[in-house]
Amino acid sequence: MNRILLNTGSALAGLLTGGFLNGTIIRYSHLLIPPPPGADLTTEAGLQKGMAMMGPEHFIMPLAAHALGTLAGAMLAARLSNSLRPPLIIGLLFLAGGAWMVKILPSPLWFNITDLCLAYLPMAWLGYLIGRRKAAGLSKK
C-alpha cells in the first residue's frame, strides 16, 4: 500500500479514536467527580463562569481525557502504520487543540502547564512505543 495513504489513514483513524475517547471521558467525568454546586459545565459560557468555582480535583478528568485520548489514538496509528509520523501528527494536532482551550478557557496556570507539557506529545510518543510492531526477526524468541 502506498506509504502516504497508509500514514494518512492511520493518522485519521487515530484522530477519530482519540477524539472519541477524549470526548467520552469528558462527557461522563461528572459521574466520578461532580461539578461544583451551581456550575453548568455543558456550555462554553457555563464553563467560563464555572472555572472560578473549580478545585484541583475538577481538573483530573480533563487531564486524563486529553492524555488517554492522545495515547489511544497514537497507539492505533502506530499499530496501523508502524511509523512515528501518524502518532506525532496526532500529538501535534491534539496539542494545538489543547492550546486553543487554554486560550478560550480561564483555567489555572498549573493545569495549563501540566496539560500542555504532559498530555499530548509525551503520550503520542508513548503510544508509538506501545503500538509499533516489532521487526519480524526481533519479535520471535
Please indicate, yes or no, if residue 98 is contained in any of the structural domains.
yes
Residue 140 confidence (pLDDT) above 60: no
Residue range(s) defining the domain that contains residue 108: 3-33+42-48+55-131
The H-assigned helical ranges of 82-132 are 85-104, 109-118, 121-131
138, part of any domain: no
- The answer to whether the pTM exceeds 0.85 is yes
**Contact (CB, 8 A) for 84 and 11:** no
Contact 94, 70 (CB under 8 A): yes
Q: Is residue 87 part of a domain?
A: yes
pLDDT of residue 1: 64
Is the confidence at residue 137, as pLDDT, over 70? no
pLDDT digits (tens, 9 = 90+) for 12-63: 999 999 999 999 999 999 999 998 888 888 888 888 888 888 999 999 999 9
pLDDT tens track for 62-116: 999 999 999 999 999 999 999 999 999 999 999 999 999 999 888 999 999 999 9
Task: In whole angstroms, give the CA distance from residue 123 to residue 78.
Answer: 12
Q: Classify residue 139: in a domain, yes or no.
A: no
- DSSP letter at 40 equals -
